[in-house]
Structures are given as structure tokens and as C-alpha cells.
């Protein structure tokens, strides 16, 4: 049995439903531009899926929100891998929910090719509160790479990245623009805003205080105040990196190298996107 068509005419959940009710074994090859995905069914039940860096259920959900692309089902193709354990009904219910949510997200994020960046902010706005996942995402927003590229770099689904960005865009922390070449080799001139950097400095301060304890509180506070001053003077990411280095040295001196390594490990996720600039 061979079945092929366009996702713009028939959504992936509907296509899978048509094949699964017949109890067929085979695979779907799904493509969109340069992206290629695969979904395997055994006796009508989805057992394995992959697209990009995603595998299993998350791969199914990722492809389910594609509004364009092509699909082809080839009967008889099998896989030895089993990465999907939910029933088709549960998978498709979740896929349908995400598709509905994606329609809402697309009002502010019409394309995954758009590039998120930090706009200029008014002075005095010096506090930002983000979740741990949002902070990890923030470190990847440098004004030069698209939403799709950020998702691939983080090994997250584009849907999950877009959900986090949606809130940041709504609050005005992040804006989107079309990809373009710039005079500084692709780096958007704005870079991370002072609001973001001050918030990041606060997160680093909190981690340092937890690790170093009361004996090093004055040292951590001194480094934090110094970092804020440098950020406000426009030193940006340099001030953040120096804050981490100085706190790590202080912790090593007062608590030992093991505790310093613990501090470095805890702040590394926050700084993952900044390390490329070193």
C-alpha cells in the first residue's frame, strides 16, 4: 500500500488515523524543505519516530504541527527500535492539542525562520524573572540565529521553544525580525539587553550565595554590585563572564575546588549560549 500527498491538504494526525485503522505495518516519510522525518507503525500502532534531533513521542508531536510539506506511506517497512509507548489515540489527542496551541502561537510567531533579538529597553527596568528553561533559551538568543536553529542547537522541539518565546514576546523582552546579513558578521548589534543581563547577574548571585554560604556573602554581594555597574556602563557579556570567574575563585578559596566546580556546573546551563563568544 502506497499513500502520498501534501500536509497542506491533509494534516499528519488525519493521515495517520487513516492508516492506523487498517492495522497496517509500514513507515511514513515526512519532509518539509530540508527537514526529513520518519514515523513507523506496526499493525497500525506507532512504535518509532524521528525528526532532526528529536526521537519518539516528541518527534511525532513536532511533525504533527507542520502545516506544509509532503508525506508518503510505504507498507511493510519496519524498525527494530521502539521509542513510542503511548497509544495512537493518546498521541493524536496530544498532537491535536498542540496543533490548536500552535495556531495561537503563530499569531506572534508566524515563521520559525524569524530571528529573535533583544530590543532596546528603558533605563530603570532592571529586573526580569524567568524560569530555568527560559534562562537557557535566553543564552541562545543573540540576534543572529533563527527559532529553528535555536531549537536544533538546544535539541528541543520548535514547539517548546516557541511556547517560551511567546511569553517573552508578549512581555516585550524579545522581538522577532527577518533573517538578514549584518556588517558585524551576522551578530545583531543589540545583543542581550541590559534587562536580560542584569537578571542573569541576579541568578548567578543567588547560585553563588547558596554554594558559598554566609562566610562569603559580602564577597558575592561585592562582585554582584560590580557586575551591575559594568553592565550599566555597557560592558555586557564581558561583565557576566567576569562575575562568574570572580565568584568561582572566591568559592575555591573559601570552600575548596570541589565547591567551585559545583558552582560552575550550576551556572553553566545559564551561560551555554554565551560560551560561543569566548
Domain spans, the chain: 2-101, 115-177, 194-277
**Residue ranges of E strands in the chain:** 2-6, 26-32, 35-42, 45-51, 54-55, 70-75, 115-117, 175-177
C-alpha cell at 207: 547560585
Top-confidence residue, 112 or 189: 112
Top-confidence residue, 179 or 82: 82
Flag whether pLDDT at 136 surpasses 90. Answer: no
Q: Among 112, 120, 203, 127, which residue's Cα sits nearest to residue 163? A: 112
pLDDT digits (tens, 9 = 90+) for 26-57: 999 999 888 899 999 999 999 999 998 899 99
Q: Looking at residue 275, what is its pLDDT? A: 47
Task: State how far the alpha carbon of 208 is from the alpha carbons of 2, 224, 264, in Å.
Answer: 59, 10, 9
Q: What is the rounded distance in angstroms from the CA atom of residue 201 to the CA atom of residue 199?
A: 5
Q: What is the rounded distance in angstroms from the CA atom of residue 143 to the CA atom of residue 58?
A: 27
Q: Looking at residue 165, what is its pLDDT? A: 93
pTM of the complete model? 0.59
Minimum mean pLDDT range among 73-82, 128-137, 146-155: 128-137
Q: Looking at residue 241, what is its pLDDT? A: 85
Three-state SS for 27?
Answer: strand
Top-confidence residue, 16 or 234: 16
pLDDT digits (tens, 9 = 90+) for 253-277: 888 989 988 888 888 776 655 544 4
Q: End-to-end alpha-carbon separation of the chain, Å?
A: 54
Flag whether pLDDT at 69 surpasses 80. Answer: yes
Three-state SS for 22?
Answer: coil
pLDDT digits (tens, 9 = 90+) for 153-208: 888 888 999 999 998 898 888 889 888 654 344 444 445 667 677 778 888 888 89
Element containing residue 57 per DSSP (H, E): helix 57-64
Flag whether pLDDT at 218 surpasses 50. Answer: yes
Over pLDDT 70: what percentage of the chain? 87
Q: Looking at residue 99, what is its pLDDT? A: 84
Please answer whether residues 40 and 47 qualify as being in contact, where contact means their C-beta atoms are separated by less than 8 angstroms.
yes
HSE-CB at 16 with a 13 A cutoff on CA atoms is 29
Flag whether pLDDT at 278 surpasses 50. Answer: no
Q: Looking at residue 30, what is its pLDDT? A: 93
Amino acid at each position: 500500500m502506497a499513500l502520498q500527498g501534501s500536509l497542506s491538504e491533509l494534516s499528519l494526525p488525519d493521515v495517520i488515523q487513516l492508516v492506523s485503522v487498517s492495522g497496517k505495518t509500514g513507515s511514513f516519510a515526512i519532509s518539509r524543505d530540508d527537514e526529513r522525518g520518519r514515523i513507523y507503525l506496526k499493525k497500525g500502532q506507532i512504535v518509532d519516530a524521528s525528526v532532526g534531533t528529536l526521537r519518539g513521542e516528541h518527534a511525532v508531536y513536532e511533525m504533527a504541527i507542520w502545516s506544509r510539506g509532503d508525506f508518503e506511506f510505504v507498507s511493510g517497512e519496519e524498525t527494530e527500535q521502539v521509542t513510542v509507548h503511548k497509544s495512537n489515540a493518546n498521541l493524536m489527542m496530544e498532537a491535536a492539542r498542540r496543533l490548536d496551541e500552535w495556531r495561537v502561537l503563530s499569531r506572534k510567531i508566524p515563521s520559525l525562520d524569524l530571528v529573535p533579538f533583544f530590543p532596546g529597553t528603558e533605563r530603570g527596568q532592571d529586573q526580569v524573572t524567568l524560569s530555568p528553561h527560559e534562562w537557557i533559551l535566553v543564552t541562545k538568543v543573540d540576534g543572529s540565529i533563527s527559532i529553528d536553529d535555536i531549537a536544533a542547537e538546544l535539541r528541543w522541539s520548535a514547539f517548546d521553544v516557541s511556547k517560551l518565546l511567546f511569553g517573552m514576546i508578549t512581555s516585550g523582552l524579545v522581538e522577532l525580525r527577518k533573517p538578514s546579513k549584518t556588517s558585524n558578521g551576522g551578530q545583531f548589534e543589540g545583543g542581550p539587553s541590559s534587562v536580560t543581563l542584569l537578571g542573569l547577574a541576579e541568578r548567578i548571585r543567588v547560585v553563588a550565595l547558596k554554594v558559598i554560604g554566609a562566610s562569603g556573602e559580602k564577597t558575592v554581594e561585592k562582585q554582584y554590585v560590580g557586575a551591575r555597574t559594568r553592565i550599566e556602563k555597557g560592558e555586557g557579556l564581558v561583565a557576566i563572564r567576569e562575575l562568574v570567574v570572580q565568584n568561582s575563585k572566591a568559592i575555591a578559596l573559601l570552600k575548596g575546588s570541589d565547591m567551585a566546580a559545583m558552582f560552575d556546573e550550576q551556572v553553566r546551563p545559564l551561560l551555554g549560549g554565551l560560551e560561543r563568544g569566548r
